Amino acid sequence: MYTWFLYNPLVTSGTCCLLPNPFARPQPASRILKSSGYDQGKERARSTFAQRQSLYELQVYISKSRRCDGVRPMCGPCARVPKEDQCEYTDSMSRTQELEATVHRLQSRLTVLQNGAGPSHLVGYPGPSSNRSARSSPFSESSSNDASPTFPASISGSHSSSSSEGSSQRDGMGRGEEEPPVAMIHMLLQCFLPHATQFGFFLHPQRFYDSALQPFAIGDERRPSPALLYAAYLWGAHLSRSQPLLSSEGVFLKRAKRHISTEISSHTNPARLLHTIQAQVLLSTYLLRSKRFLEAEFYANGAATVALGYQLHKIRSSRPVTAPQLGAPQLEVYPTPPADVVEEGERIRAFWAVGCLQNQLNLALDAASASFCIFESPGASGIDTPWPLDIEDYDNGALPPGYQGQETIRHFLTDDTFTPSPIPTLYAKASVLLYRATRLGASWSPDLQPQAFAAYQTSYTWLDRRITAFWQALPPIYAFYGNSAAARTLVVTHALAAAAAIRLHRSPAASDAEAQGKCLFAAHSVFDVLGDARVGSQSIAHPVVGALCALACQTMMDEVQRTQTWGSAGRSQEAELRAELGVGMRTMRLYAAGCPLIGGAEYQLQKLGLQYEAI
């Protein structure tokens, strides 16, 4: 039996802390002292008993010293030792407490099933008659027993009976691997799916949810690919903020990585290619949030290579398909035609999700001048895939059946008007503008020949007009306050457009007062949109907001240093800039403090804090 969680809540009038199990086996001593008058075994037993007694007395002392006094809004122990979460009291249950209580009920129920179920019972999965009820209400099971949860070492036998015809295709793809029970899967997906789109989820959420809860073994083709399932479980555990679920993050992360490698190398089921790309996008975003930048870039570039190899940039193209890019597998086009318009929409959204992720990584790493991005590798004129829409729009016929196009990005950059578009389209377009501005700024050099410098100035002026026109055409954020997921995506879209303006006007060639004024205005705008409290949920924002906020703060710092050279004439303006910079730093802390793993904001905040103290 494999123990997944070990949870021992300190029961007081308020929940202040979690303690280790006082009856757990103590760690062995690094060295056992020998005495000439006693047997070594007796000495070891005496030492172990003393350690256990000391540990128990220590935890009793900690329990008494941290006992909640019930004072509101913050109890005494928490006031003396500040912690991240707010105090929670027994007369009301928080979301975290509800999740923890549910986990304990599921653990107890699982123990009962393991002790009383016959060999044909699906441990952790409902039978055919209970599948519907478990899917609609996974929190209905209850028990008073809080036994530690354990899962069977393998569930392959119970699942193979319902899907034996595909067993030969599932070897090495998760068959026989332990998986959480279906009710826990339901809970993980409920924590993840409401926020999935802002982390790069491009599949149809309801279809994914339904197939994830199918009563078949992991690896069965009627369920999502193992890599995608574990990537979704990973995000669900991460966003749950529940300690029992958080303790499984390491397991889910390890399995997601392993299955991604297996699925890419096997190529046994090309029809599930989108699942592998989706798993890579989710994993890369998670690693970026966790401050593991090189790994994040590795998986993002892997997703881009697969997408280009399968010609996802040529969907609905009016031109003949060319050879695949970057040495990807030699395939004519995507292996199978889409089953319906929704699946075709998923493929379209997949291409743009990969490109946006790479652009966000380039911004976070400040390495766009040397980094590979799907927006440029086939050439801007080689991207014929339509702009992404909301997933529901494809089912509603928003993409005409006979539509074909070409040079999607070039048309966007040269069209005179910006028509109203869905938020996913605006998000992708803002990413393209940021990428173009970054690349243009990186191409400048003081050694440019007159002809090259004139071409640079022409591109600079033209791109400045495009960014300004697009930014002004964006819908206001307040129009989407009723849809929190859409509002958060639109906030990042506004911030990306502002970041494009900053990247363009901070180039060494743009040193005039007008360019500096545009930089400051864009930095103010980043603070305004990211600091909008009516949008909320800063703790679950995409980690790119850390890089966006850091870029705006750095712009303010540069201007503060410039005004310091003016002497007394610039003191009033310096004071205003410092006040605005303080607003930006506080906004950044909102995103960094919401989650200990929001590495994008936390990492940038540490660097900016040192720079701010130096000026």
- Does residue 273 surpass a pLDDT of 70? yes
Q: Between these two residues, 614 and 109, which has the higher pLDDT value? A: 614
In the structure, what pLDDT confidence band is assigned to residue 151 with cuts at 50, 70 and 90? Answer: very low
- Does residue 147 surpass a pLDDT of 90? no
Q: DSSP character for 566?
A: T
User: CB under 8 Å to 615, separation ≥6 — which residues?
Assistant: 557, 560, 561, 564
Cα torsion angle, 318, 324, 328, 329, sign? positive
DSSP state string for 491-516:
HHHHHHHHHHHHHHHTSTT--SHHHH
In whole angstroms, how large is the CA radius of gyration of the chain?
Answer: 28
Buried b (16+ CB within 10 A) or exposed e, 92-111: eeeebbebbebbbbbbbbbb
Mean pLDDT for the stretch of residues 529-555? 84
Compute CA 437 distance to the chain's CA centroid, rounded to the nearest angstrom.
Answer: 25
pLDDT tens digit sequence for 303-355: 999 998 888 998 988 876 655 544 444 444 566 888 899 999 999 999 999 99
Mean pLDDT for the stretch of residues 268-284? 87
- Does residue 279 surpass a pLDDT of 80? yes
Residue 544 to residue 564: CA distance in whole angstroms: 31
The tokens describing 99, both together, are 């999740």
CA separation, residue 576 to residues 86, 128, 143 (Å):
33, 66, 60
Contact of 387 with 425, CB cutoff 8 Å: yes
> To 5 degrees, how large is the angle CA 227–CA 230–CA 236?
140
Mean pLDDT for the stretch of residues 406-429? 89
The tokens describing 337, both together, are 């035609």
Instruction: Please state the pTM of the whole predicted model.
Output: 0.71
Mean pLDDT for the stretch of residues 408-430? 89
Q: Give whichever of 322-336, 360-374, 445-459 has the largest mean pLDDT.
A: 445-459
Percent of the residues in the chain that have a pLDDT greater than 70, as a whole number: 61
CA separation, residue 363 to residues 390, 465, 525, 547, 584 (Å):
25, 22, 18, 7, 18
pLDDT tens digit sequence for 4-38: 433 333 333 343 433 334 334 444 434 433 444 44
- Does residue 518 surpass a pLDDT of 70? yes
Q: DSSP character for 76?
A: H
- Find the range with the poorest average confidence among 138-152, 221-235, 239-253: 138-152
Q: Between these two residues, 61 and 167, which has the higher pLDDT value? A: 61
**203, 520, 166: which is closest to 353 by C-alpha?**
203
Residue 545, SS3? helix
Residue 610 to residue 615: CA distance in whole angstroms: 9
The tokens describing 293, both together, are 């930048």
- pLDDT for 110 equals 53
Residue 597 to residue 288: CA distance in whole angstroms: 9
Q: Give whichever of 76-80, 187-191, 365-369 has the largest mean pLDDT.
A: 187-191
- pLDDT for 437 equals 92
What is the amino acid identity at position 143? S
- pLDDT for 428 equals 97
Residue 167 to residue 160: CA distance in whole angstroms: 7
| CB count in 10 Å sphere of residue 227 | 29
Q: DSSP character for 266?
A: H
**525, 515, 520, 510: which is closest to 471 by C-alpha?**
525
Q: Determine how β-strand 14-15 pairs with β-strand 2-3.
A: unpaired
Residue 367 to residue 497: CA distance in whole angstroms: 19
Contact of 155 with 178, CB cutoff 8 Å: yes
The residue written with tokens 């318009």 in the block is: 341
What is the amino acid identity at position 174? G
The tokens describing 212, both together, are 């994830």
| CB count in 10 Å sphere of residue 560 | 20
pLDDT tens digit sequence for 379-414: 556 889 999 999 999 999 899 888 888 889 988 988
Q: DSSP character for 33?
A: P
Residue 101 to residue 121: CA distance in whole angstroms: 25
Contact of 94 with 88, CB cutoff 8 Å: yes
- Does residue 141 surpass a pLDDT of 90? no
Residue 572 to residue 548: CA distance in whole angstroms: 27
